[in-house]
């Protein structure tokens, strides 16, 4: 179920990537504080990359992202990388303990976590960035079709669904 939720969000990214024109993908937008759709997608994908590919001694550090410009500027590269992440997530069979490493005010902080907890974090992180993207797309790239639930957390979708019933 957890992997499925992560994959569903990554498929939302793929739904943008298969529709967006290459020149639009890397266009800096004022509404996004001069960021692009590509920059937000790169940011999401690199968090997954840190979690599933860049663990060192069973620790994960999202601060040490590669910031690969190809993910930000090349739609095909981002689309293929998203597929690779989905394939890797599908093959996860068990939880494991991890150490989360973060830097705050120039101090390293470490804490216990787990693979499943960090997948959960990545799901929520993805939803947050997709919500931001969902603001810009209708304004700048109205040719892109977004699902009605694009950029919403599952809890919000369920809340809105139950609100209509009640």
- CATH of region 2-165, choose from 3.40.50, 1.10.287, 1.10.10, 1.20.120: 1.20.120
**CA atoms of 88 and 73, how far apart (whole Å):** 23
Residues in CB range of 142: below 8 A, 6 or more apart? none
Full-model pTM = 0.92
Q: What is the pLDDT of residue 165?
A: 66
- How confident is the model at residue 153, as a pLDDT? 85
Q: Residue 38 and residue 26: Cα distance in Å, rounded?
A: 5
pLDDT score for 138: 96
- Return d(Cα 16, Cα 85) in angstroms, integer: 16
Distance CA 128, CA 138 (A): 17
């Amino acid at each position: 179920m957890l992997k499925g939720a992560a994959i569903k969000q990554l498929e939302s990214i793929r739904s943008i990537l298969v529709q967006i024109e290459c020149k639009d993908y890397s266009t800096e937008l004022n509404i996004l504080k001069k960021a692009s759709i590509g920059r937000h997608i790169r940011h999401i994908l690199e968090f997954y990359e840190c979690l599933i590919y860049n663990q060192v001694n069973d620790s994960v550090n999202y601060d040490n992202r590669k910031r690969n410009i190809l993910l930000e500027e090349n739609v095909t590269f981002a689309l293929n990388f998203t597929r690779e992440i989905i394939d890797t997530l599908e093959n996860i069979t068990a939880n494991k303990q991890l150490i989360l490493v973060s830097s705050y005010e120039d101090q390293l902080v470490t804490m216990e976590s787990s693979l499943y907890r960090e997948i959960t974090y990545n799901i929520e992180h993805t939803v947050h960035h997709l919500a931001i993207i969902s603001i810009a797309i209708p304004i700048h790239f109205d040719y892109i079709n977004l699902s009605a639930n694009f950029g919403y957390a599952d809890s919000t979708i369920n809340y809105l669904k139950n609100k209509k019933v009640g």
